Every structure is written in structure tokens, then in C-alpha cells.
Amino acid sequence: MAAQSYVTAAGGHALINAPKGSPWYRIRPLAQISVSFRVDFGPQCAVGPGKIALLENIGATGSLSEAARRLKMSYRRAWLLLEDLNTSFQQPVAEMSVGGRGGGGASLTSFGTELVSAYRNLETQVRKRAQTAFPANAAPASSETRGRKPVPRRKINRPMGTASHSRGKR
């Protein structure tokens, strides 16, 4: 009776159980799974990786313009995202101070700090769960197989649309 091979995930490694002499007998590390997600609090209220990164950079720099520069986004885009966050919740996530002799600035409110912390904690939990949720053999193709020729696409004969949608007719 031949031994059956199967794959299990254990401790971040794929353990392939097969007879010892088999080429399939090895332990290899699982690819690190990345997770991106958005949390919708309502139809007009959402928080995702971009807004959280903006809040983190505001907290680190004390400046909306510096946070925007670090994220390679325009000041206007950063300001619009922050304004959206401040008006989406019942309390603001950040406070702005007007420029002057000492210059303006931005700082996170305690609610903003809690929001960032809660998002990052959830992200950590989701990433850990994702590591065990998928089969160990659900790994990206190796560089050797990625370099092979793509499968050619077949041409599908479809009926032409109406005359206004046909090629060359305007």
C-alpha cells in the first residue's frame, strides 16, 4: 500500500508528509501573506490603509503637509482625506492649528489615536488568521514557472453590436 501525501500548515511552515525518499518530502517556509482591508462604519464612513497611514504620519510629524510629503500625496488630497475623517465620525480624529509665528500643525485627538490602534490591532489579527486560513500549497508560482510562455488566448467570435458601436463608425 502506497503512502498518501498531504499538506498541513504548522508554525508558519508547510510540512509535506511523504515517504522519506520522495522528492516531495521537505519542509519549506510559507510565503508571508499580506492583507489589505477597509472598515466601513456606514455608507459615508470608511477607514482603510491610506487614511490610517495619513493619521500615523500626522501623529509622527505633527504636520499635515509633512505627512502628505512622506506619503507622496498632494497637500490637498491629504487635507480632503483628513476633513473626510473628521466629519465622518461623531468626534474629530485630528486637530489643526493655524500657522503663525511658530507655524501651524496638526495632532491626533485621543479618538484618532484609538482609531489607529484599533485598526492596526485588527490588521494583525487578520494577518495571523490569513496565515492559517489558506492551504499551505497556496503559494505564488516560483520564478521558473513565471517565466514560461503564457497560454495563448483563443479568439472568440462574437456578433457585432449595433452600427453605432461598430468599429470605424462614429
Tens place of pLDDT per residue across the chain (170 aa): 433 333 344 444 444 444 555 554 444 455 677 889 999 999 989 999 999 999 999 999 999 999 999 999 999 999 999 999 999 999 999 999 887 666 779 999 999 999 999 999 999 999 989 888 888 777 777 666 666 666 777 776 666 655 555 555 54
Q: What is the CATH number of domain 39-131?
A: 1.10.10.10
Residue 38: its pLDDT value, please? 94
Distances (CA, A) of 66 to 11, 20, 110: 40, 57, 21
Residue type present at position 1:
M
Asked if 61 and 67 count as a contact pair (C-beta separation under 8 A), the reply is yes
The full set of domain ranges for the chain reads: 1-31, 39-131
Residue 5: its pLDDT value, please? 36
Residue 28: its pLDDT value, please? 46
| Residue 49 grid cell | 490603509
Residue 21: its pLDDT value, please? 55
Question: How buried is 7 (Cβ within 10 angstroms: 0-12 exposed, 13-18 middle, 19+ buried)?
Answer: middle
Q: Which tens digits make up the pLDDT trace of 127-157?
A: 989 888 888 777 777 666 666 666 777 776 6
